[in-house]
């Protein structure tokens, strides 16, 4: 089964290239198009039903994080009659058998090809959350396949990589460790190459670096020895459940506001990030001043990249959804402090 999104891989010629390789290998192709950004559980069920009907023996996901995530859960649902959502969220049982799958990455940023977690929207329950499925048996990372992506999608995807790295970095432990030092390098790389793309959107070397950084942020290396947070992602996921908004853009709005709410509980790590990632001189600054300067640098970088800094800029106009988002998003233990739902609502209101 060849799974893909809205048809951009056909316009770019990637679809014909993949089909050519598969036909040369004597493979029968079952098309599964139309996987949307923020893939829905209904789309998962549609794909699983098709795979069962056609006797699919392998799933090839060609696309970005949404396509790959959807296929991870299709791969699980296609080999069981049990409902995967009920298995994981009611019975707390996780699938162990899958159709094998591979991934051809055409939009980097999510690092979806590196793990078995998938972000899926259940429209019936108004939940957008992590579901566990199959690992890709292989992943093809060719930056040339990203060249047809719109500039806005490239930049928002790269910010997602930065977000993954920051959310991991700010977790425990607080002491200097190798995982965090590698994380600092990944973050600096993302910032540098996003700036290159703003000046030269078709710079293949920069796209190559960002594709590798995306994989590094989610292949587990940065998380070794870490207790990660990802509260910004939990808030944005639920915002996406109610609005269908672009994930990277939502994170760009949420991060600076969230960090101003929590940095005093983890000043040391925020100050280190300011110095090592944003390269702000520590001379003459207190730890608190350095931490604040780092958050300001992040906010200025977001503006420099042309990313939104309010929900209004994203086209979100209905403030009534904010209580729903705050009331239903997953609450983590927090990299700095455990937030209450009231605090999350306050953060969301400041994002407007």
- Joined together, the tokens standing for residue 310 give 């309010």
Predicted pLDDT of residue 236: 97
- Mean pLDDT across the stretch 259-263? 96
Burial of 155-179, coded b for 16+ CB within 10 Å and e otherwise, reads bbbbbbbbbbbbbbbbbeeeeeeeb
- Mean pLDDT across the stretch 21-42? 97
Predicted pLDDT of residue 93: 97
Q: Comparing 325 with 334, which gets the higher pLDDT?
A: 325
Q: Name the H helices within the chain.
A: 8-11, 14-24, 41-54, 65-77, 84-89, 151-169, 178-199, 204-218, 231-243, 247-262, 267-276, 287-304, 321-328, 341-351
- Mean pLDDT across the stretch 201-214? 98
How far, in Å, CA of 272 to CA of 350, rounded?
A: 26
Q: Which of 7-16, 26-35, 160-169, 183-192 has the lowest mean pLDDT?
A: 7-16
Pairing of strands 138-141, 31-32: unpaired
CA angle 255, 295, 328 (to 5 degrees): 20
**% of residues, the chain, pLDDT over 90:** 96
Confidence class for position 333, pLDDT limits 50, 70, 90: confident
> Which H helix or E strand runs over 119?
strand 117-122
Question: Counting beta carbons within 10 angstroms of the beta carbon of residue 20, is it exposed (0 to 12), middle (13 to 18) or buried (19 or more)?
Answer: exposed
Predicted pLDDT of residue 174: 87
Instruction: Please state whether the peptide bond connecting residue 173 to the residue before it is cis, i.e. omega within 30 degrees of 0.
Output: yes
CA angle 7, 37, 110 (to 5 degrees): 105
- Mean pLDDT across the stretch 121-140? 96
Predicted pLDDT of residue 205: 98
Q: Which of 34-38, 146-150, 278-282 has the lowest mean pLDDT?
A: 146-150
Contact 93, 81 (CB under 8 A): no
Predicted pLDDT of residue 105: 98
- Mean pLDDT across the stretch 153-182? 96
pLDDT exceeds 90 at position 109:
yes
- Mean pLDDT across the stretch 241-259? 97
**% of residues, the chain, pLDDT over 70:** 100
pLDDT exceeds 90 at position 335:
no
- Mean pLDDT across the stretch 13-39? 97
Predicted pLDDT of residue 336: 85
Predicted pLDDT of residue 137: 98
Contact 217, 186 (CB under 8 A): yes
- Mean pLDDT across the stretch 41-68? 98
> Sign of the CA dihedral 203, 206, 208, 214?
negative
Contact 235, 254 (CB under 8 A): yes
The candidate with the shortest Cα–Cα distance to 294, out of 306, 282, 305, is 282
Question: Counting beta carbons within 10 angstroms of the beta carbon of residue 290, is it exposed (0 to 12), middle (13 to 18) or buried (19 or more)?
Answer: buried
Q: What is the pLDDT of residues 12-22, one digit of tens each?
A: 999 999 999 99
pLDDT exceeds 90 at position 190:
yes
pLDDT exceeds 90 at position 7:
no
pLDDT exceeds 90 at position 229:
no
Question: Counting beta carbons within 10 angstroms of the beta carbon of residue 210, is it exposed (0 to 12), middle (13 to 18) or buried (19 or more)?
Answer: buried
- Joined together, the tokens standing for residue 30 give 């079952």
- Mean pLDDT across the stretch 70-87? 98
Confidence class for position 287, pLDDT limits 50, 70, 90: very high
> Sign of the CA dihedral 236, 232, 156, 141?
negative
pLDDT exceeds 90 at position 113:
yes
């Amino acid at each position: 089964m060849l799974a893909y999104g809205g048809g951009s891989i056909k316009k770019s010629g990637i679809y014909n290239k993949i089909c050519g390789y598969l036909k040369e290998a004597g493979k029968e192709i079952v098309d599964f198009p139309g996987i949307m950004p923020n893939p829905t559980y209904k789309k998962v069920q549609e794909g699983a039903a098709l795979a069962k009907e056609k006797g699919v023996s392998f799933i090839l996901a060609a696309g970005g994080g949404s396509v790959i995530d959807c296929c991870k859960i299709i791969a699980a649902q296609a080999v069981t009659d049990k409902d995967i959502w009920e298995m994981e969220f009611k019975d707390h049982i996780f699938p162990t058998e899958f159709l094998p799958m591979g991934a051809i990455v055409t939009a980097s940023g999510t690092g979806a090809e590196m793990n078995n977690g998938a972000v899926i929207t259940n429209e019936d329950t108004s939940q957008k959350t992590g579901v566990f499925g199959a690992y890709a048996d292989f992943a093809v990372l060719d930056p040339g396949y990203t060249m047809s992506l719109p500039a806005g999608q490239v930049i928002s995807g790269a910010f997602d990589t930065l977000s993954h790295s920051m959310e991991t970095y700010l977790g425990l432990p607080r002491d200097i460790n190798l995982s965090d030092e590698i994380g600092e390098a990944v973050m600096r790389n993302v910032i540098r190459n996003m700036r290159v793309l703003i000046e030269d959107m078709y710079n293949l070397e920069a796209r190559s670096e960002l594709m590798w950084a995306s994989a590094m942020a989610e292949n587990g290396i940065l998380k070794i020895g870490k207790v990660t947070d990802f509260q910004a992602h939990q808030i944005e996921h639920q915002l996406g459940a109610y609005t269908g908004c672009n994930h990277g853009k939502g994170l760009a709005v949420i991060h600076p506001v969230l960090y101003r709410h929590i940095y005093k509980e983890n000043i040391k790590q925020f100050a280190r990030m300011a110095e090592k990632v944003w390269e702000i001189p520590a001379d003459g600054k207190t730890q608190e001043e350095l931490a604040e300067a780092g958050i300001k640098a992040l906010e200025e970088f977001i503006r420099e990249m042309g990313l939104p800094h309010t929900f209004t800029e994203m086209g979100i106009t209905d403030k009534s959804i904010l209580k729903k988002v705050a009331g239903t998003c997953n609450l983590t233990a927090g990299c700095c402090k455990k937030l209450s739902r009231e605090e999350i609502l306050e953060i969301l209101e400041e994002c407007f």
